[in-house]
Amino acid sequence: MTTFDDRERAYETKFAHDAELRFKAEARRNRLLGEWAASLMGMQGDEAHRYALTVVTSDFEGAGTHDVSRKLAADLEGRADEADIRAKMAELMDVARRQVIDESE
């Protein structure tokens, strides 16, 4: 085993770890977005939790965050515009990253 092989394995491990953290943070952000949107729509408790899960699963419909923002824009029509949704997505991504990192340490 050479130093190069060790270094390559370390980079692969780091890449896999970073990808897992990114996936978890995006899922967490989407759940938080769902909770935010549910509160704007007057949902509480189990209803809000179920709605938040629909936001999380909407991210699996296609690549990128467009599917989530489209769902929220349709569901929040008249309550939040595209700019509000995008700003909340960015804000909650920071929150979600910190939460996931804190949990993994």
The answer to whether 27 and 56 have CB atoms below 8 angstroms apart is yes
> How confident is the model at residue 31, as a pLDDT?
96
Superfamily per CATH, domain 3-104: Domain of unknown function DUF1476 (1.10.790.20)
Note every long-range contact of 68-76, with CB atoms under 8 Å and residues 24 or more positions apart, other chains counting: 68/30, 68/33, 72/33, 72/37, 75/37, 75/41, 76/37, 76/40, 76/41
pTM for the full predicted model: 0.84
Angle, nearest 10°, between helix axes 66-75 and 45-58?
140
| Residue-level pLDDT, tens digit, the chain, 105 residues | 678 777 788 888 888 887 888 889 999 999 999 999 999 999 999 999 999 999 999 877 766 678 899 899 999 999 999 999 999 999 999 999 999 988 887
What string of H, E and C letters represents the secondary structure of 30-67?
HHHHHHHHHHHCCCCHHHHHHHHHHHHHHHHHCCCCHH
Domain residue spans of the chain: 3-104
pLDDT at 1: 61
